[in-house]
Amino acid sequence: MEVNTVLQKDITDIQSIAIVPTILDVVCRATGMGFAAVARVTEDAWVTCGVLDNIPFGLSVGDELEISTTFCKQVRDTDKLVVIDHVDNDETYSNHPIPQQYGFQSYISVPIIRSNGEFFGTLCALDLKPNKLKNAKIVDMFTMFSELISYHLDTINTMRKQASIIEKKENELATYDFISSHDLQEPLRKIQLLTNTIEVKEIDKLSKKSKKYFKSIKNAATRMRKILDDLLKYSQTGYNHKGFREQDMGKLIERVKYRLSDEFDQSNAVLNLSNLGKLHIMPVQIEQLFYNLFSNNIKFRNNERTLTIEVESRIDKGSNFGVESLDENLNYCEISVRDNGNGFEQKHSEKIFEMFQRLSNKPDDKSTGIGLAIVKRIVNNHNGIILATSQPNVHATFKIYLPV
């Protein structure tokens, strides 16, 4: 059955929240459940927006169930969660048709409520065997995760509204100043406060397995903080004609290397500079540009060889660079940043500059998917263009063309 446009948007929104797979994984590990999902639940529809199925229960993202055959309808109607440890021994649900239809013995469903009071759906889990779910720790964990998902959905919605307002001016998502508001920061502060309190006062009481789950939650919160910080950086990279001045590029890049000295030392990276002169730029922004590019070089280095980053520049007529989008009659400074790292498939050369785009979903990937979007915005602020070329496991090269 084809999902309608509105529900498809909700699926896309949930899929864009990088922390959802971690939430589902932690839920299954912490409870022993084999199936967990984020479901969009309306008056007449139930659709999976995110799913982890280790049973297998047989559902994937975008699949629908008849709403009347789900406990999520009851959660939506009553705004109360449903928790079942063991269907066969439960006075309320032992003869209920829903568990009999699907064959599960343990079940939990917690509502996801938007900040405006709108019911979005549920965070739910089930298993074919009994599990101990009726306790404060499990319920609090599900509630915290549902609030976290709600927070992300509100952020996406706010971003969408901002984009609509700004589209006429910049035709892109141009500001994230709202990120600094109390309403968006508070859920993250709450989670980090709770995890810090547990780490100080309760960590020794946790089992080895629970400590592993706790670490996953803490890492997810830290990643969220990094995303918010990067979004704030994005919001601060607006055009400012008063910020332009002549700058020695060699000295600017050396400042960047100093800021990343720990990363350079730990990775044994080598930075080679050549033909760098002076440019009329916004120094603060161009420094951020190189900071993000070098961070990217280091994150995606190839551990089988020493990372080498080559930076060089040349000034010439636009017609001599062989780049269609350059004005043939203008002089440009071409700045090339090349590394010998892992690279990427050339088909992703434009995608990598889009907001929240990450080519890797590995657990140890610390990328927020915002760094290169910041780079492109800074280049746009200088009326330039940026191009990326790469060969997997050989190199990645970023070429920036700034009008002189």
**Alpha-helical runs (H) found in 202-282:** 208-235, 249-259, 261-267
Q: If you ran DSSP here, which 8-state letter would residue 307 be given? A: -
- In whole angstroms, give the CA distance from residue 265 to residue 382: 32
Averaged pLDDT, 202-231: 74
Q: What is the pLDDT of residue 50?
A: 95
- In whole angstroms, give the CA distance from residue 39 to residue 356: 22
Q: 397: which 2 tokens?
A: 């090269």
Q: What is the pLDDT of residue 52?
A: 95
Asked which of 189-203, 241-255, 261-275, 322-336 is least confident by mean pLDDT, the reply is 189-203
Q: Say if residue 49's pLDDT is above 80.
A: yes
At 244, the amino acid letter reads F
- Measured CA distances, 129 to 85, 106, 304 (Å): 9, 6, 46
- Decide: helix, strand or coil at residue 203: helix
- Decide: helix, strand or coil at residue 37: strand
Q: What is the pLDDT of residue 169?
A: 46
Q: Are 373 and 381 in contact (CB under 8 A)?
A: no
Q: 114: which 2 tokens?
A: 């938007």
Number of CB atoms found within 10 A of residue 95's CB: 11
Q: Which residue has the higher pLDDT, 114 or 185?
A: 114
Q: What is the pLDDT of residue 192?
A: 74
pLDDT tens, position by position, 129-181: 999 999 988 998 999 999 999 988 988 887 776 655 544 444 444 444 544 44
pLDDT tens, position by position, 189-215: 777 777 777 777 777 777 787 777 777
Residue 337, CB-side half-sphere exposure with 13 Å CA sphere = 20
pLDDT band at 331 (very low <50, low <70, confident <90, very high): very high
Q: 60: which 2 tokens?
A: 């994937």
Average pLDDT in the chain:
85
- Measured CA distances, 135 to 37, 201, 274 (Å): 20, 20, 63
270-274: strand order across its sheet: 270-274, 308-317, 331-339, 395-403, 385-391
Q: 328: which 2 tokens?
A: 């043939």
Averaged pLDDT, 64-74: 95
Task: Give the E-state strand segments of 128-179 in sequence order.
Answer: none
What 3 state SS string does 338-349 have?
EECCCCCCHHHC
**Maximum average pLDDT range among 6-15, 84-93, 147-156, 239-248:** 84-93
Q: Say if residue 75's pLDDT is above 80.
A: yes
Q: Which residue has the higher pLDDT, 176 or 348?
A: 348
Q: What is the pLDDT of residue 173?
A: 44
Q: What is the pLDDT of residue 36?
A: 96
- Measured CA distances, 102 to 81, 95, 304 (Å): 19, 13, 50
Nearest Cα to Cα of residue 305 among 342, 343, 359, 264? 342
- In whole angstroms, give the CA distance from residue 102 to residue 252: 63
Domains by residue range for the chain, with CATH: 5-139 (3.30.450.40), 241-403 (3.30.565.10)
Q: What is the pLDDT of residue 90?
A: 94
Number of CB atoms found within 10 A of residue 104's CB: 22
Q: What is the pLDDT of residue 399?
A: 96
- In whole angstroms, give the CA distance from residue 59 to residue 62: 8
Q: What is the pLDDT of residue 210?
A: 77
Q: Which residue has the higher pLDDT, 88 or 371?
A: 88
- In whole angstroms, give the CA distance from residue 171 to residue 173: 7
Q: 107: which 2 tokens?
A: 């079940």
- Decide: helix, strand or coil at residue 270: strand
With a pLDDT cut of 90, the percent of the chain lying above it is: 51
Q: Say if residue 51's pLDDT is above 80.
A: yes
Q: What is the pLDDT of residue 284?
A: 86
